[in-house]
Amino acid sequence: MSQAVIRTEFLCKSFGKLDVLKDISTEIYQGEVVAILGPSGSGKSTFLRCMNLLERPTKGRVYFNEQEITNSKTNILKVRSSLVMVFQHFNLFPHMTVLQNVTYAPIKVKKVDKQQAKQKGLELLGKVGLAEKADVYPSKLSGGQKQRVAIARALAMEPEMILFDEPTSALDPEMVKDVLDVMKSLAQLEITMAIVTHEMGFAREVASRIMFLDRGSIAEDTTPSEFFRNPQCDRAKQFLEKML
């Protein structure tokens, strides 16, 4: 068995009186592509954000490569440079060109040589099909192009794992495929990924594992073929009836 990249132990998160995550204990292994599915409000984003401590768990522990990151001594910025997140709304830096967006963190955080970062950035922009956009500003891009820049920016950190929170939800339908195709190519490179998504076709085809969240707990944790053919719990059945 390869090592767990992420491990959670009795992870709980509450906002005031609202218990959003309830004792989640799980592991995500190197090379896995985990699709996190579930109804709106079931805690998917919170779960993802607890993995790199964008949200601080109320209780429980999170380990990244067996290092406990919920421990206050952890340098979380360092962890986040190899456990990167891609957001629904891209979060590009508006005052930077596409290429600057991609090279900023490698230069600032990883102290990569500027010329080297630029070369690598151009290469990554080529990979996501945007080499010719290197010098434009994000405002000139479509949503799908912005998201591909965000993915190139994430890859520029040479991360061990990428967390995606509904990366295609803010996109016009005709843009979705380009972004999913880029994500599919990452899956083939065996980059570990956790992806919150409502794209059932993508989850079925590309994920190696499905986690179905229901009211803050993992209600199902299984293979895509099992989940889509034979969901076990009623909530998953209802969910799939609505989604498919």
User: Does 43 engage in binding with ligand ADP (CB under 6 A)?
Assistant: yes
Q: How far is the CB of 40 from ligand ADP (least distance, A)?
A: 4
> Does residue 41 bind ligand ADP (CB under 6 A)?
yes
Smallest distance, ligand ADP to C-beta of residue 84, A: 19
Write the CA distances from 200 to 3, 15, 180, 226, integer angstroms: 28, 29, 12, 14
User: What's the first-to-final CA gap in the chain, in angstroms?
Assistant: 34
Residue 43 interface partner, choices ligand ADP, Mg ion, none, CB cut-off 5-8 Å depending on type: ligand ADP
Choices 13-21, 76-84, 202-210, 227-235 (CB under 6 A): range interacting with ligand ADP: 13-21
The site that binds ligand ADP (CB under 6 A) totals a number of residues, namely: 11
Beta pairing class for 209-214 and 33-37: parallel
Does 52 participate in binding ligand ADP (rule CB under 6 A)? no
Asked if 45 is part of the footprint of Mg ion (rule: CB under 5 A), the reply reads: yes
Work out how close the CB of 168 gets to Mg ion at its nearest, in angstroms, rounded to a whole number. Answer: 13
DSSP 138: G
Does 42 engage in binding with Mg ion (CB under 5 A)? Answer: no
- Minimum CB distance to ligand ADP, residue 198 (Å): 10
CB of 9 to ligand ADP, least distance (A): 19
Q: How far apart are CA 21 and CA 197, in angstroms?
A: 18
* CA atoms of 77 and 16, how far apart (whole Å): 26
15 contributes a contact to ligand ADP by CB under 6 A? yes
Q: Is the dihedral of CA 134, 137, 142, 146 positive or negative?
A: positive
Q: DSSP letter string over 165-214?
A: ESTTTTS-HHHHHHHHHHHHHHHHTT-EEEEE---HHHHHHH-SEEEEEE
Question: If you ran DSSP here, which 8-state letter would residue 111 be given?
Answer: -
The residue ranges that bind Mg ion (CB under 5 A) are: 44-45
The residue ranges that bind ligand ADP (CB under 6 A) are: 15, 18, 20, 38, 40-46
